[in-house]
């Protein structure tokens, strides 16, 4: 069979620290199905936390990776942050001006912009004194927020578009590319794909890792006009793409309503790669351990879980010495205050955001794994990537979440138990069952196997070759 080529357009490659490795895994397995990947992405920013181990792996994989600069506020902020220390005053002023809003991937990094290394635990702006006066946001902060919402369309990466298009043209003139895959967030990548599809004879696949106008964290448009513009862009992308992918059923249903060809919108969830766990030596803990890896932001808060842990310790004496919770995340000040207020300092630890392999090591070592999601508009679309990695470990999963795509996944696979964040008593009971080993789960291994990254790549190839 003649080999084909796919141009994958993604803003971050590989994603930083806790980002989703969806494109990395497609690039890994596509060659087994006769398709060679070509990556178009941005230059990495050393001022922001990067997973340099993962960077080295993709650079050594052998497929071409084209990296471009950008003029978007996020990228410029990273470049300014690399200015030598002697220009600090000028640097700090520019950073405030360019303080673009966080993307879903940035939120997964928990505001670690400005960190000097991949394992730094200091967020770029985390203390109220940096952005607030008297408990209220500073005037500069409020003005920047207004500029973000009013002028950055469709998102803060909008100014990557000309750089990406220019490089894509060079690639397409040299390479016989048959497929183009764009993935969001940012949604700007889909506008790049639309431009390419209008000018070149390619099959374009638009991949929605996050919702666009239904995004529970970012679709807070300041006016009906802003919402209309984004809806029109979203509709045109779904209409003009050869195929459309969504990672959860609610996203897929929404996108199907935007096109007269709903059959071209497909569910293609995230997944896991068992190879990632090979050669990882587990940590030998001397007590029962629940682990959480990933980020915490907005309504994704651990406070209900902390209340459940406190109730567990109050109801069952002697557990505290044999029970611990390890987070690999970035706590916000209110999370740390909650731990102190509930007296959980001896039980709850935070190791900070670390590399992908370190996160997998903690998952492999824990006795149970924790997922958190909160209430919010359109929150039903949410299904965090970490839960698929959790599935690969075989460990029981405790999901503290309202009903959403995540609860449907755990019910389908039988890999975990879901508890509503407001039900502190049930959280306490489930923790006790996990601790005592009395929680009964019926894992459906057949259902779980379909989330293998190779099988998902096989499905991607079937979709694009059928169009």
From the list 215, 170, 163, 214, the residue with the least C-alpha distance to 192 is 163
Residues 238, 297: one domain?
A: no
Please, is 413 exposed, middle or buried when counting C-beta atoms within 10 Å of its C-beta (0-12, 13-18, 19+)? Answer: buried
* Residues 286, 248: Cα–Cα separation, whole Å: 38
Residues 4, 18: one domain?
A: yes
Residues 267, 307: one domain?
A: no
**Strand 179-184 relative to strand 348-350, pairing:** unpaired
Q: Are 310 and 343 in contact (CB under 8 A)?
A: yes
Residues 290, 378: one domain?
A: yes
Residues 263, 288: one domain?
A: no
Residues 327, 232: one domain?
A: no
Residues 361, 234: one domain?
A: no
- Report the domain count for the chain: 2
pTM over 0.95: no
What would you measure as the largest C-alpha separation in the chain, in angstroms? 70
Residues 331, 259: one domain?
A: no
Residues 283, 336: one domain?
A: yes
Question: Residue 140 sits in a domain of what CATH number?
Answer: 3.40.50.2000
The per-residue pLDDT string of the chain (467 residues; one tens digit each, 9 = 90 and over) reads 689 999 999 998 888 765 678 999 999 999 999 999 999 999 887 767 777 777 888 888 889 999 999 887 777 777 777 666 446 556 666 666 665 444 555 444 444 433 333 333 332 223 333 344 444 455 555 665 666 666 777 888 888 999 999 999 999 999 899 999 999 889 999 999 999 999 999 999 999 998 888 776 666 777 888 889 889 999 999 999 999 999 988 899 999 999 999 999 999 999 999 998 888 889 989 999 999 998 887 678 899 999 999 999 999 988 999 999 999 998 888 999 999 999 999 999 999 988 888 999 999 999 999 999 877 666 556 677 788 999 999 999 999 998 888 888 999 999 999 999 999 999 999 999 999 999 989 999 999 999 999 999 999 999 999 87
Residues 229, 198: one domain?
A: yes
The predicted structure's pLDDT at residue 342: 95
What is the extent of the structural domain holding 252? Answer: 1-271+452-467
- Complete DSSP assignment for 428-441: HHHHHHHHHT----
Question: Phi/psi at 355 (nearest 5 deg)?
Answer: -65, 165
The predicted structure's pLDDT at residue 97: 60
* Residues 343, 155: Cα–Cα separation, whole Å: 41
The predicted structure's pLDDT at residue 377: 66
The predicted structure's pLDDT at residue 183: 95
Residues 6, 144: one domain?
A: yes
Residues 65, 206: one domain?
A: yes
């Amino acid at each position: 069979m003649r080999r084909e080529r796919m141009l994958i357009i993604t803003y971050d490659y590989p994603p930083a620290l806790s980002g989703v490795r969806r494109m990395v895994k497609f690039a890994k397995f596509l060659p087994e199905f006769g398709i060679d990947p070509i990556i178009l992405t941005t230059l990495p920013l050393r001022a922001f936390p990067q997973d340099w181990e993962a960077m080295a792996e993709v650079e050594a994989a052998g497929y071409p990776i084209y990296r471009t600069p950008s003029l978007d506020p996020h990228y410029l902020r990273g470049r300014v942050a690399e200015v030598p220390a002697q220009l600090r005053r000028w640097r700090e002023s520019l950073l405030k001006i360019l303080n673009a809003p966080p993307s879903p991937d940035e939120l997964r990094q928990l505001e670690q912009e400005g960190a000097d290394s991949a394992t730094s635990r200091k967020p770029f702006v985390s203390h109220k004194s940096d952005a607030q006066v008297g408990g209220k946001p500073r005037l500069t902060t409020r003005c920047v927020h207004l500029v973000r919402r009013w002028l950055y369309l469709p998102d803060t990466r909008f100014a990557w578009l000309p750089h990406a298009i220019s490089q894509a043209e060079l690639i397409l003139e040299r390479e016989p590319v048959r497929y183009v895959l764009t993935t969001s967030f940012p949604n700007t990548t889909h506008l790049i794909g639309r431009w390419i599809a209008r000018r070149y004879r390619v099959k374009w696949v638009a991949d929605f890792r996050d919702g666009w106008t239904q995004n529970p964290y970012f679709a807070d448009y300041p006016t009906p006009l802003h919402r209309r513009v984004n809806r029109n862009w979203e509709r045109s992308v779904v209409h003009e793409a050869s195929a459309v992918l969504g990672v959860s059923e609610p996203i897929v249903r929404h996108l199907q309503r935007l096109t007269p060809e709903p059959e071209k919108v497909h569910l293609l969830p995230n997944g896991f790669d068992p190879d990632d766990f090979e050669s990882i030596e587990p940590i030998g803990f001397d007590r029962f351990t629940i682990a959480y890896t990933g980020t915490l932001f907005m309504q994704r808060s651990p406070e209900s879980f902390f209340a459940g842990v406190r109730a567990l310790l109050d109801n069952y004496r002697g557990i505290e010495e044999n029970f611990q919770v390890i987070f690999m995340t970035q706590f916000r000040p209110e999370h740390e205050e909650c731990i102190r207020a509930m007296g959980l300092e001896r039980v709850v630890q935070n190791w900070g955001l670390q590399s992908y392999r370190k996160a997998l090591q903690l998952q492999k070592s824990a006795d149970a794994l924790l997922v958190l999601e909160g209430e919010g508009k359109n929150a039903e679309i949410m299904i965090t990537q970490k839960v698929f990695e959790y599935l690969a470990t075989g460990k029981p999963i405790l999901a503290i979440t309202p009903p959403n795509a995540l609860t449907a996944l755990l019910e389908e696979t039988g890999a975990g138990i879901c508890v509503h964040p407001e039900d502190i008593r049930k959280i306490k009971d489930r923790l006790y069952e996990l601790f005592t080993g009395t929680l009964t789960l019926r894992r459906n291994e057949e259902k779980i196997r379909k989330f293998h990254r190779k099988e998902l790549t096989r499905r991607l190839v079937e979709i694009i070759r059928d169009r």
